[in-house]
Chain A
């Protein structure tokens, strides 16, 4: 048993060192309690709904979220709006459909099956409207940045006066968490920029947390299902391992040897 434990711990150690080498980038980000971390991590439903509000009222002016559909908003493990609410949200957007029988494109209200409407026609249009910088699509943004949620959360609160001696071009802003510390996006959030429908005080910190939670869900919509299944799978494996260990001992007891 001793040597099995040794072998097992060596493998775990190897895994830990591999992951350490890979995530060697060390930046101190702002910390907050994320409810979706840990073995049983789940999204805070209210925070997700508020986060959607921040996204749609602030971010969506420039950032697309092209891999999400309106139906996702009412699905389990997400913001869990009611189907009626999700339908209303979808219907509030104008979607280009077609061509119709006359061969023409037409506008209609959005449906649950529609993908999130994009703020710009294409990347070029987005760049043209934003001083040459493309506002990245937000569908998997959290997973596409080294620091993940902590990075996004910090970035939203990282706007400051540029230090003395640093010269910023027109349309460039100082953000201490941005790679290179220069960012083309102006500070998107300010206290009270939106009014939460649930009455929560819309401080920059609160909005940052909510919208980051929403972005985490957008990037990883199956997170809750994954955590739940993972726990069951690992408990099952551990029980089976113990049972197999004792049958192994039994079988090998017929031989004069050690296992």
Chain B
């Protein structure tokens, strides 16, 4: 937080600011001291904000032309693609935007895991982030239902049916969710309503996420606290703004490639077949970003336990700040943790792959091992590692590894260059 008191220069500005300190807020946001050693993995926060705004703007436009009715939804999407001016562009940005959003959020989460950003005093930022991630999954799932294609319909059927695993009241809950005895028009209209609502909830939580971030300030690749703000930090504007902007532009190039040259590659072909309750697709698969959790769900033979495992896989992240017993934040100074970190990354990628494959034979076996390891990582490896691991001595300040001059510098420097 900037420590100096801000007063607007103009009289009118001062008058306004005394009544509503918007200018103080703007000043805080531009002057916000940011560690100068942030690397490019830190640019994904800004990229995610861009993704959210893009989804909201394109989503609003689509909602003006979309018709949430089981008999007309599919047709109205084709109407958007064919008759609405640049409707194809808006829809492809929105559909691929969801994938880009998740790509960015996964990088953002794994950055946090690597540099220990979830640790004290940033637990609340982290937990808000997990809630945002959960809401994102709900929004994405419901958004995928709206075109009312075959995957929309059957995906909705499979996912809502998970609630039937709850003992005693399960069946009742599913009927309540559907608004009937199968996925049908009432299901579609409520999914549309919620799909419209959730992004604004996310927006609110993003404000809290950033607010909570601005209390302790950013973590950084070295993972130690700021010692001297004048030496260790730069003002958010222009330094971080331009760097985030540069990274965002690179991200937009990838984004544009998908929108313009491979707009349907991340979706499933079956979703261009209108929903038909009488024909079940050969393989029902969720969108790629949900595959790891789908693999966990299917790797447990019991339905209820499968649902519990899938939910736990996400919720376990919320208690991560207390599962990880190490006081050292950055993996740069935790040689063992760093190795387990990369094993976890591989484990999640394997789970994602298995989620796309049929749940049988060798695939199922690998998915089960990977599921077991996922929980082992969080429940056993992390708590034990924090107590047993011999860490590398931390530098005295974050300026040190940047500018040099300390005995720790060479080592920190070497480690840094390895991971970047």
State whether B36 touches A255 (Cβ < 8 A).
yes
State whether B245 touches A244 (Cβ < 8 A).
yes
Q: How far is the CA of A7 from the CA of B268 in the complex (A)?
A: 28
Contact with A along B82-126 (1 / 0, CB 8 A): 100000110010000001000100010000000000000000000
Contact with B along A222-236 (1 / 0, CB 8 A): 100111011101100
B49 at interface, CB cutoff 8 A:
no
State whether A227 touches B261 (Cβ < 8 A).
yes
Main secondary structure of the interface of A (DSSP, over half): helix
Among A6, A14, A221, A234, contact of B82 (Cβ-Cβ < 8 Å): A221
Give chain A nearest CB distance to B285 CB in angstroms. 8
Give chain B nearest CB distance to A40 CB in angstroms. 11
Interface size on B, residues (CB 8 A): 56
A19 at interface, CB cutoff 8 A:
yes
B260 at interface, CB cutoff 8 A:
yes
User: For residue A4, which residue of chain B has the nearest CB?
Assistant: B40
Residues of B within 8 A of A240 (CB): 249
State whether A21 touches B260 (Cβ < 8 A).
no
Residues of B within 8 A of A15 (CB): 103, 254, 258
Q: How far is the CA of A222 from the CA of B81 in the complex (A)?
A: 8
State whether B246 touches A241 (Cβ < 8 A).
yes
Residues of A within 8 A of B256 (CB): 230, 233-234, 237
Q: How far is the CA of A145 from the CA of B356 in the complex (A)?
A: 17
Residues of A within 8 A of B133 (CB): none
Given known A226-B89, A259-B243, contact A21–B353 (CB-CB < 8 A): yes
A140 at interface, CB cutoff 8 A:
yes
Residues of A within 8 A of B89 (CB): 222, 226, 229
Contact with A along B215-244 (1 / 0, CB 8 A): 000000000000000000010001100110
B266 at interface, CB cutoff 8 A:
yes
A26 at interface, CB cutoff 8 A:
no
User: For residue B355, which residue of chain A has the nearest CB?
Assistant: A21
A168 at interface, CB cutoff 8 A:
no
Given known A15-B103, A230-B261, A248-B243, contact A238–B253 (CB-CB < 8 A): yes
Q: How far is the CA of A225 from the CA of B87 in the complex (A)?
A: 12
A245 at interface, CB cutoff 8 A:
yes
State whether A7 touches B260 (Cβ < 8 A).
no
Residues of A within 8 A of B265 (CB): 19, 22-23
State whether A251 touches B242 (Cβ < 8 A).
yes
Q: How far is the CA of A3 from the CA of B247 in the complex (A)?
A: 12
State whether B36 touches A12 (Cβ < 8 A).
no
B193 at interface, CB cutoff 8 A:
no
State whether A227 touches B357 (Cβ < 8 A).
no
B39 at interface, CB cutoff 8 A:
yes
**Chain A CB within 10 A, most for which of B89, B250, B254, B420:** B250
Give chain A nearest CB distance to B405 CB in angstroms. 12
State whether B242 touches A247 (Cβ < 8 A).
yes
A104 at interface, CB cutoff 8 A:
no
> Which of B183-191, B269-277, B319-327, B329-337 is the interface stretch?
B269-277
User: For residue B255, which residue of chain A has the nearest CB?
Assistant: A237
State whether A226 touches B249 (Cβ < 8 A).
no
B392 at interface, CB cutoff 8 A:
no
Residues of B within 8 A of A106 (CB): none
Residues of A within 8 A of B39 (CB): 3
B174 at interface, CB cutoff 8 A:
no
Among B82, B254, B288, B349, contact of A22 (Cβ-Cβ < 8 Å): B288
State whether B269 touches A11 (Cβ < 8 A).
no
B199 at interface, CB cutoff 8 A:
no
B78 at interface, CB cutoff 8 A:
yes
Residues of B within 8 A of A4 (CB): 40, 250
B397 at interface, CB cutoff 8 A:
no
A125 at interface, CB cutoff 8 A:
no
Give chain A nearest CB distance to B404 CB in angstroms. 10
Contact with B along A1-13 (1 / 0, CB 8 A): 0011011100110
State whether B288 touches A237 (Cβ < 8 A).
no
Among B357, B403, B420, contact of A6 (Cβ-Cβ < 8 Å): B420
A window 166-204: CB within 8 A of B? 179
Residues of B within 8 A of A229 (CB): 89, 260
B20 at interface, CB cutoff 8 A:
no
Residues of A within 8 A of B249 (CB): 237, 240-241, 244
Give chain A nearest CB distance to B272 CB in angstroms. 4
Among B246, B257, B270, contact of A245 (Cβ-Cβ < 8 Å): B246
B264 at interface, CB cutoff 8 A:
yes
Chain A interface residues toward B at CB < 8 A: 3-4, 6-8, 11-12, 14-15, 17-19, 21-24, 39, 67-68, 72, 136, 139-140, 143-146, 148, 179, 219, 221-222, 225-227, 229-231, 233-234, 237-238, 240-241, 244-245, 247-248, 251-252, 255-259
14 A-B residue pairs with CB within 8 Å: A4-B250, A8-B250, A17-B349, A22-B265, A22-B268, A67-B79, A136-B273, A179-B282, A222-B88, A222-B89, A230-B259, A230-B260, A230-B261, A259-B243
